[in-house]
Structure 1
Amino acid sequence: MVETVDVEAGIRKIVCGISGIPEDANAQADLYLDLGMASVHALQLLTELEDHFGIQIPDDDFVEATSIGKLIALVEKLSKN
């Protein structure tokens, strides 16, 4: 199982690397509406998360995970399976 701190750090590093959003961004802020991440980065984010954490993220779940906090919860849930 992946530790929460490791999940959060990994997600923040990936999001920052793709979009330039600061690594200390509010975990509850919407990546697209509040933080200005371009929607064209979504597919890259999805594939990098799957590769980094060794999981498959269902498209419907990914679309609903619009914040760092929601991505953390999703990755933790999928990592337990």
Structure 2
Amino acid sequence: MTKEEIVAGLAEILEEVAGVNPEDVTEDKSFTDDLDVDSLSMVEVVVAAEEKFGVKIPDDEVQNLKSVGDAATFVLNQQAA
């Protein structure tokens, strides 16, 4: 799976969970500052991403995932592992 495909998948998840317009989701967007995803929604995004991409995102890693790009890179690295 490419990083672009992961970003597109995250855009779908963000639309479902937080009502974010998928066209607004790019790698440089911050979940909280740019996309207005609150901490509760972020938990739902993480759970949905784990299911969609078949990866495990530990709780202590979630706080490091500030942007869509951070999350996409994390998923990409987990899939390669």
Which band: TM-score by shorter chain?
Answer: 0.7 to 0.9
Show structure 2 runs of 5+ residues with no match: none
CA distance in 1, matches of 2:4, 2:27: 13
Measure how far apart 1:6 and its partner are.
1.8
CA distance in 2, matches of 1:46, 1:30: 15
1:58 and 2:58 matched: yes
Show structure 1 runs of 5+ residues with no match: none
Assess if the C-alpha contact under 8 Å between 2:50 and 2:57 holds in 1: yes
Q: Give identity over the alignment, percent.
A: 21
Measure how far apart 1:56 and its partner are.
0.6
Partner of 2:68 in structure 1? 68
- What is the aligned residue count? 80
CA RMSD of aligned residues (A): 1.4
TM-score of the aligned structures, taking structure 1 as reference length? 0.85
CA displacement 1:1-46 (0-9 Å, x = unmatched): x222321211111112111112122421211122211221121111
Partner of 1:79 in structure 2? 79
CA distance in 2, matches of 1:45, 1:28: 17
